[in-house]
Structure 1
Amino acid sequence: MPESLIRAIRWDTVVGALLIALLLLSFGFVDGFGNALNLSFLLGNTLPIALIALPMTLLVVSGEIDLSVASTAGLSGAVMGRLWNEGMAIETIVPLCLLLGVVCGLVNGLLVTRLGLPSLAVTIGTLAAYRGIAQIVLGSDAVTDFPVRYQEFAAGRLGTTFLPQAFLPFLVLLAVAVVVLHATPFGRSLFAIGASEEAARFAGIRVKRGKLILFVATGLMSALTGVFWALHYASARYDNATGLELSVVAAVLLGGIDFDGGKGTLGGAIAGVFLLGALQNVMSLLNVSAQSQIVVTGVLLVISVLAPRVARQISLARAAGSTG
């Protein structure tokens, strides 16, 4: 293969090609994959991962991570269920849940940016704390009697198509995130922060403020996901979205976002999200157990961290050999 072609191939391009290949094989050889009901089911189940992946991508690009996203979503759903049981209108509940997400993200961000604590350790702690608060708020109850029109929006399809109604708002949020990361000074500053926080600070970039904004945005989007989850599955429980953080992180890293920060594209991250979602859907259709699916997700997480580093070492070795 020509050297110029090797350099042109990026990890996110490979992930996009793998997604297309998986879809083609699934349409051709997996019974039931191509029917409208299953495709709608696939997209609806993938949307919670995709929603959180938007701010998570920006956060990882800046060199940080938030493992409390699933617990924030669960807390948002639990508060939503509790307030609905108390008789509050859903139009009032949703903004309050989103505000709660902002508070959760703000707590994470302040602990990381003001106290200098590592985001991995902080968000492991808040992962447990937010989930515990959710259980205190709602207990073991499950709230299922939300307004039908909201449940239809979260779980219904656009006319006779396979596209979920909630997919269109997601596309708007995706467009906003792409513009922010790849076409604004703020987005460029995130790559600079991830590549070298010290150099970014010397360049006049307000590193702490940028990271704090990202943690707040991640908390906000996690809370929105919690609301969507409760309406989509018609059930608000304290343990909603348990384990979702693993899928989000695996998908983002699988899409080529460097865990050390400073590299990656939002297109690659979203390709990773839908590659993981399609793979899980295919495994379900093939009656692969849920435990085995978790194993596959874990293996993909390891591969997504390891493969770009191996490719980088190979590239460096080839460069050293060509100059030697």
Structure 2
Amino acid sequence: MSEPAARIRRALGTWDVVVLLALVAVAVVGALTVDGVASPRFWRFVVLEAIPIALIALPMTLIVITGEIDLSVASVLGLTCSVMGQLWVSGVTSLPLLIALALLLGAVLGAVNGLFVTGFGLPSLAVTIGTLALYRGLAYVVLGDRAVANYPTTWTTTAIQPLPGTTIPWMILVVAALAVVFAVVLHAMPVGRGLYAMGNNAEAARFAGVDVRLTKFWLFVASGAMSALAGVFWTLRFASARADNGSGLELAVVAAVLLGGVSIFGGRGALLGVLAAVALLGVLRNALQLAYVPANTLTVITGSLLIASVVGPNVAGMLRERLRRRRTTTVSPSS
């Protein structure tokens, strides 16, 4: 087999390509079997739903590659929405100022997670489960059961304004630009190689000169800031600030990251597969909703995909290793 053909074969065998092919298959089958899937309106809602998930999934990908996780992201989003609502009620009427304060708040909340994980050496799973509850509780303390919904229509319509000549919201360009930044950091810079090294063996990465603690700390800061940005978009899209905004969104984010091929044990993954998984879950969920599938069933499907995303790559890796060993045994000279 020629070298170009071998490269194509290896590329087609990657998990990223599998997810992309699954996305195309779901889109085609949905368009052929469910009324409305082929319409521009359907794809508008898919993008609107995918934007906050993609924003949070970008830093989450890097965090999971290092062997950590952040489960507080949806609560950071909710607390950001509550603070934005309270600030607006209190007389802060400048949108740029509100966005800046929201991003600062998200960065501080992420820094708290990072401090507990890197400063005190606590497991990120335990820490972020705790802050998941803490931040959501603080959101209710700030806003209670109220809903702040009297934002100017210029704000709310601008947030979901479509690109000229399309139904796709312009915010997809912001997501794309941020995705490029995160992809460059992960795949084209020394810090990205350090992230993979941390996920494979943090102690070895430390000996190789990687500042493991500081790097992880800033990843949690980035996660908080991006969750806050998702909270800003959420508030403006729905024209409502509520303490329960984004509840349960962490499940969709983690499902997308793991379904995208990022190993829950760290050290493996790529942003392309994650973004494809975000789109796949969005298309699947919206198509099933159009087919009148109950919400509880959608939750079961999301959970099943989450399990499959953990089990699938590991099973595939085991099968590849067995085939490799079998081929090695077959071609080796007999004693």
Q: TM-score, normalised by structure 1?
A: 0.96
TM-superposed CA distance for 1:321, in Å, is 2.2
TM-superposed CA distance for 1:156, in Å, is 2.3
Identical pairs, percent:
50
2:51 to 33, 36, 47: 47
TM-superposed CA distance for 1:8, in Å, is 5.7
Q: Secondary structure at the match of 1:314?
A: helix
Pair 1:235-2:240 in alignment: yes
The aligned length equals 322
Q: Is the 8 A contact 2:143 2:242 kept in 1?
A: yes
Q: Is the 8 A contact 2:107 2:225 kept in 1?
A: yes
2:108 to 92, 103, 106: 103
**1:297 aligned residue:** 302
2:79 to 75, 79, 93: 75
TM-superposed CA distance for 1:128, in Å, is 0.1
1:172 to 154, 172, 177: 177
Q: How does 1:90-129 map to 2 (within 5 A)?
A: 90-129=95-134
Structure 2, unaligned runs of 5 or more: 1-5, 330-335
Q: Is the 8 A contact 1:153 1:166 kept in 2?
A: no
**1:181 aligned residue:** 186
Amino acid at match of 1:312: G
Amino acid at match of 1:29: T
Amino acid at match of 2:196: F
Q: 1:65-124 CA distances to partner (integer Å, 9 max, x unpaired)?
A: 100000000000000001101111233222111111001100000100111111011000
**1:56 aligned residue:** 60
Distance 2:271 2:11 in 1: 20
Larger Rg over CA atoms:
2
Distance 1:291 1:197 in 2: 40
Q: Is the 8 A contact 2:149 2:239 kept in 1?
A: yes
Query: Which has the larger displacement, 286-295 or 239-248?
Result: 286-295
Q: How does 1:278-289 map to 2 (within 5 A)?
A: 278-289=283-294
After TM superposition, the runs of 4+ consecutive aligned structure 1 residues lying more than 4 A away are 4-8
Pair 1:262-2:262 in alignment: no
Q: CA RMSD in A?
A: 1.4
TM-superposed CA distance for 1:188, in Å, is 1.3
Q: Is the 8 A contact 1:77 1:230 kept in 2?
A: yes
Q: How does 1:199-214 map to 2 (within 5 A)?
A: 199-214=204-219
Q: Is the 8 A contact 1:256 1:308 kept in 2?
A: yes
1:219 to 221, 224, 229: 224
Q: Secondary structure at the match of 2:247?
A: coil
TM-superposed CA distance for 1:5, in Å, is 4.2
1:19 to 14, 20, 23: 23
Q: Is the 8 A contact 2:34 2:287 kept in 1?
A: yes
Distance 2:250 2:54 in 1: 11
Q: 1:191-240 CA distances to partner (integer Å, 9 max, x unpaired)?
A: 11111111101101111111011000000000111111010111110000
**2:39 aligned residue:** 35
Distance 1:9 1:158 in 2: 35
**2:146 aligned residue:** 141
1:87 to 84, 91, 102: 91
Q: Secondary structure at the match of 1:281?
A: helix
Q: Is the 8 A contact 2:11 2:17 kept in 1?
A: no
Amino acid at match of 1:71: S
Distance 1:91 1:46 in 2: 23
TM-superposed CA distance for 1:317, in Å, is 1.7
TM-superposed CA distance for 1:153, in Å, is 2.1
TM-superposed CA distance for 1:187, in Å, is 1.1
TM-superposed CA distance for 1:315, in Å, is 1.6
Q: TM-score, normalised by structure 2?
A: 0.93
